[in-house]
Amino acid sequence: MRRMGLPRATAGPVLAVLLLCGLVTAPASAATAFKVLQMNLCNSGAAGCYQGGSAVDEAVAMIQRRVPDVVSVNEVCLSDLPRLTAAVGATAEYQFAFARRKSTNTDIECSAGRGAYGSGIIVKEGIRTSGQNTYTAQDSGDEVRAWACALSEVRGFTACTTHLSTTGATALAQCKELVPATVLSHDPTGSATTRHVVVGDLNLRYSPGSATNAQNCVPSGWFRKGDGDVQHVIARTLTFVSTQEYAMYRTDHPAFVVNYTF
């Protein structure tokens, strides 16, 4: 049976004319979704919101439902990270930020022998290089606050996590220490177009007119999205889509999701 349509001899020239006239265009490439999940799990064992480690089970379920590309977790134990990372995916890897005790210059430990206490950044596609350290600015308390950053294995973006001081002025100084200089130090290209996300419990709120307004930590060319309280994501070179908050019942913070495309 013969297929109806243009004769074979004329199809090529006609298609060429249509292309030249702009009547036939190639489909635009679809934007790539990029999801960031922030959780504070209150899992040290020292705070009143601790619920025997069950916040980790809740966090695993949250990760499996939301399927994020990057996960930031604060107030966790080093021993929690393997389970959380496995929930993100088979290729996922993490970097831990060790909180220190000022009085002894040692890592703060979670209760019941669960290992070092701090924050973790988990990257679904794996980590090429990473680092962690404490801030120069610290408050008068015994906890020395820390950050961790990771350069992703495949797409070359940088993701960082942190849990800042409960003293507003110190938290703002720490935030400015992290963004942008520390974050950019993990970008080997030095490119103005490289994607970055800084995620965590900043202990700062969006409060216009306040000296400790979280927005005061956002450099030119970056933008911030928050949960209406102390959890924020500060990003660069991503297109914002939406935010969501999800109740968590084994910790005192909601899960906070920011959706982007690039």
Structure tokens at 144: 């020395």
Give the pLDDT mean for 106-117.
97
Domain annotation covers residue 26: no
For the chain, the first-to-last Cα distance in angstroms comes to 47
Structure tokens at 78: 């080093």
SS3 category, 131: strand
Domain annotation covers residue 84: yes
Query: In the chain, how many domains are there?
Result: 1
d(CA 127, CA 108): 25
Q: What count of other Cβ atoms lies within 10 Å of the Cβ of residue 241?
A: 13
Of how many residues is the chain composed?
A: 262
Domain annotation covers residue 188: yes
| The amino acid at 96 | F
CB 232 within 8 A of CB 202: yes
CB 69 within 8 A of CB 126: no
CB 238 within 8 A of CB 222: no
CA angle (68, 256, 47) in 5-degree steps: 115
d(CA 175, CA 237): 19
pLDDT for 233 equals: 98
d(CA 15, CA 9): 12
Write the DSSP string, 197-237: EEEEE-S----TT-TT-GGGG--TT-EEEE-SSSEEEEEES
Domain annotation covers residue 7: no
pLDDT for 28 equals: 61
Domain annotation covers residue 17: no
The sheet that has 146-152: what strands, in order across it? 127-134, 146-152, 158-163, 196-201, 231-236, 223-226
CB 126 within 8 A of CB 91: yes
SS3 category, 82: helix
The domain in which residue 248 lies consists of: 32-261
Closest to 157 (Cα-Cα) out of 130, 187, 179: 187
CB 261 within 8 A of CB 220: no
Domain annotation covers residue 47: yes
Least confident of 173-177, 186-190, 242-246: 186-190
Domain annotation covers residue 95: yes
pTM of the prediction?
A: 0.89
* CATH at 171: 3.60.10.10
pLDDT in tens, 119-175: 999 999 999 999 999 999 999 999 999 999 999 999 999 999 999 999 999 999 999
Structure tokens at 16: 């060429």
pLDDT in tens, 14-43: 444 444 444 445 456 789 999 999 999 999
d(CA 200, CA 216): 16
Quick one: how far is CA 40 from the chain centroid?
Answer: 12
pLDDT in tens, 54-89: 999 999 999 999 999 999 999 999 999 999 999 999
d(CA 163, CA 118): 8
Domain annotation covers residue 22: no
